[in-house]
């Protein structure tokens, strides 16, 4: 079962992020939603959507997003299982940055 999923989404300006977040948070198994707009064009906007829950159904989320006129560009992070696991920093991450 998915506990957290982070998506990169392209959406029209309307429905607004408020409506989109309310629509997503009303889904079964979803406890909370965060939407952050990081780029705005003339007709569309790019959003990073974080969905957290006890049993997030990815297909239902995808369906809801499509119904609201949005498309998933990429799935950037998924956390599933009995426990929510954060990404672990390794020495390689630091050296890669240097």
- Rounded to 5°, the CA angle 67-63-56 comes to 130
Cis omega (within 30 of 0) on the bond before 93? no
Q: Which is nearer to other proteins, 12 or 93 (CB)?
A: 12
Give the CB-side neighbour count of residue 16, counting CA atoms within 13 A. Answer: 2
Angle between helices 17-25 and 58-67 (to 10 degrees): 150
The CB-of-16 to other proteins minimum distance in angstroms stands at: 8
CB of 97 to other proteins, least distance (A): 33
2/24 with CB nearer other proteins:
24
Residues of this chain, 32-91, that bind other proteins according to CB under 8 A: 41-44, 66-69, 71
> Among 12, 39, 54, 55, which residue interacts with other proteins (rule: CB under 8 A)?
12
Query: Rule CB under 8 A: is residue 14 a binding residue for other proteins?
Result: yes
Say how far apart CA 88 and CA 31 lie, in whole Å.
24
Binding footprint of other proteins on the chain (CB under 8 A): 10, 12, 14-15, 19, 41-44, 66-69, 71
């Amino acid at each position: 079962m998915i506990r957290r999923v982070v998506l990169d989404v392209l959406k029209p300006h309307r429905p607004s992020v408020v409506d989109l977040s309310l629509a997503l948070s009303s889904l079964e198994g979803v406890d909370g939603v965060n939407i952050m707009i990081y780029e705005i064009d003339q007709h569309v906007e790019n959003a990073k959507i974080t969905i957290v829950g006890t049993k997030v159904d990815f297909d239902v989320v995808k369906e809801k997003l499509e119904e609201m006129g949005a498309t998933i560009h990429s799935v950037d992070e998924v956390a599933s299982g009995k426990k929510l696991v954060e990404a672990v920093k390794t020495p390689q991450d630091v050296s890669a940055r240097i």
